[in-house]
A and B are shown apart, each in its own frame.
Chain A
């Protein structure tokens, strides 16, 4: 078993969706346009026998609100980990505004705010301590960190609980304080893995507003999600991943091609059963 060195056509050619921003099999040598927020070329990762990500190439334009959707185990988290410096890819490269994540990690990471899914926080710190810690880790000066921490906690509606230990926070508060920690160094790009999972609707709406403002002020956001409705409403671009392969990518309208995103997603990914079986469940 060998991985494609320069992956040929990772985008399903039998799918009619227009693919303006995906670069199937783009040469890995050429430097991407630095205005592209995230440029991914031929990204691949194998765990033992299983190919988790099978050659993904994708451009995330600056200032876009990019949704990444796919069924469970599609390779979303693996791909995002490789793009954010958490997992070394077997093949392929990733640039953040023209800086290679794996060649100049410190410079690339300065431009990126990351919310990894299912990751613990240093939860024996208070909310205020955690956000401050995150700022100081990035080498910001104390004055700036103090101002931004206060601002972020206020915007996230956490000022009241700033002195509480993060371990005592609810799921929604934990996501918000993690998001605040990811934003304190004023990154150009936010990469958020499942930012709305286990978050109540009110907190989710607040987080969405914050992200929309971030995009409006020129930032770029990439979110992964299971919730198609949310992605359709919130994002302007979307990429569909299944079994480690990019199936479609582009603006939301291009990808959904007149249908709802959910229907289009099911078309692309397949796997729907017709609801038979479990006859014993009917009373």
Chain B
């Protein structure tokens, strides 16, 4: 069973390479990068025995904790998890999740991140090569640690996805999931007074983390090296318990998904009469597209999930401000929100999936399509960005920065919308399908997705550079003239980029409608 799943995972990866050379090249780059990082870590770990035991343990425990946190946070907020072996695909085989999940966990070790984590853990045990008991503890703990990372990341994303049907609950869960992250900031801010004091306290912090799922895997050999065999045993048992717990949570998520597959989705939603937004926006093609986009922003978890980041960031910045009593960090909110929201529709057509066929067969013009989608975004994103900018300026009491901040925030939003108007028509890449978890990465797409979004981000960054430079000048000189210049340039340049983006996007859309649809279909 386990061998089967691992072989299947490998076969799917290799077939992906055969199908697309680009994917192969991407994978080679990724693997080369990972090998480089591992080599660096190996060099570091080789020098660790020069440190005294306490510091060695502290460093390893904290790095281990960061790795575990990474496995939890990165999939939820950035990449999603690899769903090549989606448990839902096994629903018809009647394999109990008790047998399936451990198999999937071990199969996770043959993915690039899984294998890299295992190797990194094993390399870290080299740091204990001068103490036999520690080395003997480190190796099994390393294997358990890598397994725990895989299981916990699938468990967290799986449980979040299991609640996709009930959007409210899912949003609340994700917000709660961020609480530990925010608390970590508070803990650091609360405990750390100065860098020196921090350095003294790190071993203490590590000693506490050692008893949590974040640290047990790397802390157990530390205890063994110091001859605290009782503690080492306790932490070793905890390691087993953490892995068992993560497997159990993952099973829970899989079981929920099984029942969803069998019952084909969540129970019927309350039916609502009337057309909703579709009835209130203008009855033109562009108006209809805008209305449909707005409905999707509200009803499709893939869109609403990307919205969640805004209130989370607000809370986080406010918290940090409350800690230090200086709310100037909050001033970033407006421009960052504008930047993110403008960029949010950069894969709009890919998100339609094959439903985009309706736009093709209905003969929608590029202008209507572009204007509708961008209009839907600006309709709520523009007021939201403005209100956020005003509110954060008020909280920070920095009214003299308001013109520049508005110029920067609205400029970033308009420029982002303009860039998206081109990129969503021009670059189709795999995105989570409708109804899928917003946290799933489509097979073999991570690198391509990252390249396209990185490219778009760089272009976007370059295009907002003029107002950014003006704003920085305003901050440095304190001259109000630069504030107003930022406002004028931000709005003017933003509108220009938006207009050009819609023009180019429309032209491409009209010329290559069928080709665009075919590439969407390829990933559907």
When C-beta atoms are compared, the residue in chain B nearest to A182 turns out to be B361
User: When chains A and B are docked, how far (Å) is the Cα of A88 from the Cα of B352?
Assistant: 20
Asked if B354 contacts A163 (CB within 8 A), the reply is no
When distances are taken between beta carbons in the complex, the residues of chain A under 8 Å from B272 are 126, 163
Q: Which residues of B contact A (CB under 8 A)?
A: 265, 268-269, 271-276, 278, 283-285, 287-289, 291-292, 295-296, 299-300, 352-355, 357-365, 434-435, 513-515, 517-518, 524
Picked from B265, B276, B352, B513, the residue with its CB within 8 Å of the CB of A129 is B276
5 CB-based A-B contacts, threshold 8 Å: A109-B361, A119-B357, A133-B278, A136-B284, A139-B284
Asked if A168 contacts B292 (CB within 8 A), the reply is no
Given A120-B355, A121-B355, A112 contacting B361 (CB threshold 8 A): yes
When distances are taken between beta carbons in the complex, the residues of chain A under 8 Å from B514 are 85-88
Given A106-B363, A168-B265, A86 contacting B434 (CB threshold 8 A): no
Picked from B274, B289, B296, B355, the residue with its CB within 8 Å of the CB of A163 is B274
User: When chains A and B are docked, how far (Å) is the Cα of A167 from the Cα of B296?
Assistant: 13
Tally A residues with Cβ within 8 Å of B. Answer: 44
- The verdict on A267 contacting chain B, using a C-beta distance below 8 Å, is no
When distances are taken between beta carbons in the complex, the residues of chain B under 8 Å from A126 are 271-272, 276
Please encode chain A, from 166 to 202, with 1 for each CB lying within 8 Å of some chain B CB and 0 for all others.
0110000000000001100100000000000000000
- The verdict on A137 contacting chain B, using a C-beta distance below 8 Å, is yes
User: When chains A and B are docked, how far (Å) is the Cα of A39 from the Cα of B230?
Assistant: 85
- The verdict on A123 contacting chain B, using a C-beta distance below 8 Å, is yes
User: When chains A and B are docked, how far (Å) is the Cα of A109 from the Cα of B365?
Assistant: 12
User: When chains A and B are docked, how far (Å) is the Cα of A136 from the Cα of B517?
Assistant: 20
Picked from B265, B274, B285, B357, the residue with its CB within 8 Å of the CB of A136 is B285
- The verdict on A84 contacting chain B, using a C-beta distance below 8 Å, is yes
Please encode chain A, from 98 to 110, with 1 for each CB lying within 8 Å of some chain B CB and 0 for all others.
0000000110011
Tell me whether chain B's interface is mostly helix, strand or loop, or mixed: helix
Given A136-B287, A139-B284, A122 contacting B358 (CB threshold 8 A): yes
User: B266 → chain A, closest Cβ, in Å?
Assistant: 9
Asked if B271 contacts A120 (CB within 8 A), the reply is no
When distances are taken between beta carbons in the complex, the residues of chain A under 8 Å from B265 are 167-168
User: A92 → chain B, closest Cβ, in Å?
Assistant: 14
User: When chains A and B are docked, how far (Å) is the Cα of A185 from the Cα of B283?
Assistant: 15
- The verdict on A132 contacting chain B, using a C-beta distance below 8 Å, is yes
When C-beta atoms are compared, the residue in chain B nearest to A82 turns out to be B514
User: B351 → chain A, closest Cβ, in Å?
Assistant: 11
User: When chains A and B are docked, how far (Å) is the Cα of A131 from the Cα of B354?
Assistant: 17
Picked from B278, B296, B363, B517, the residue with its CB within 8 Å of the CB of A109 is B363
Given A120-B355, A123-B434, A138-B362, A163 contacting B271 (CB threshold 8 A): yes
- The verdict on A128 contacting chain B, using a C-beta distance below 8 Å, is yes
User: When chains A and B are docked, how far (Å) is the Cα of A125 from the Cα of B265?
Assistant: 16
Picked from B273, B299, B363, B518, the residue with its CB within 8 Å of the CB of A124 is B299
When distances are taken between beta carbons in the complex, the residues of chain B under 8 Å from A165 are 269, 271, 299
When C-beta atoms are compared, the residue in chain B nearest to A136 turns out to be B288
Picked from B300, B354, B358, B515, the residue with its CB within 8 Å of the CB of A134 is B358
- The verdict on A30 contacting chain B, using a C-beta distance below 8 Å, is no
- The verdict on A276 contacting chain B, using a C-beta distance below 8 Å, is no
Please encode chain A, from 150 to 163, with 1 for each CB lying within 8 Å of some chain B CB and 0 for all others.
00000000000111
